[in-house]
Every structure is written in structure tokens, then in C-alpha cells.
Amino acid sequence: RVAVYGGEGDNLKKLSDVGIDESYIGDVCVLEDMTTHLPVIEVRIVECRDDGIDVRLRGIKIKSSRQRELGLNADMFQPANLVRYPRLEGRDPDVLYWRAVIQQRYGSAS
């Protein structure tokens, strides 16, 4: 059994509780249809078969059900707006903009 909690800091609330058949092998969705942003998401393994012996967690996937635009525009990359990113200063703003667009469209954080 897996429980998912979310919220801010130490103030987490239970969002879902999912039972997983012990013979199941594959991906399991433990949280879906979220409509609000939560800065902290915690996945807790509540119960394990045989007290956790021979249980494997191979990874965690985060999948969005819809595309989200980051609201990029070329003005974001003008020198006056890059004060928080000193390594980007002196670079062509158009190159920075198009690089960000490509990363948004085709990038993957796996």
C-alpha cells in the first residue's frame, strides 16, 4: 500500500491511498487530477509484502496530463533581466530565447 501526502513544509495532508496487488508488475498511478500546486509531494510506502523483503522500486515517474506553456518571451532574455544569471550575460538574447523554446518543447527530465 502506498500513501501520497502533499502540502507545505511539515503541514502535509493525505492526498491518496493506493493498494497494489502483490503479484502486479508494472507502473502504478498513485496521484492524478491535481488542480492546485503543492510545493511538497511525499510518497510513503505504508505496507510491503513480506515486510519489504524482495520489493523493488525501480523509479518514480512524473507525468503531466496536459502541456503547459512556460510563458516564454524574448524580453525575458534581455541583459537587464539576466541579473540572477550572470553566466548568461553577454550572450545573444535571441539565441537564449530560442534555446529555451527548444528545451521546453523537446527537453526531457528523466
Instruction: Write out pLDDT tens, residues 88-101.
Output: 888 888 888 888 88
| Domain extent at residue 32 | 1-65
Look up residue 27 and give its three cell numbers.
507502473
22/41: higher pLDDT: 41
69/8: higher pLDDT: 8
Sheet with 40-45, strands from edge to edge, namely 11-18, 2-8, 40-45
Question: Cell 500546486 maps to which residue?
Answer: 37
Question: Would you state the pLDDT for residue 93?
Answer: 87
Q: Are residues 20 and 60 in the same domain?
A: yes
Q: Under 8 Å CB-to-CB from 78, ≥6 apart: which residues? A: 93
Q: Are residues 98 and 57 in the same domain?
A: no
- H-type helices in the chain, by residue range? 93-106
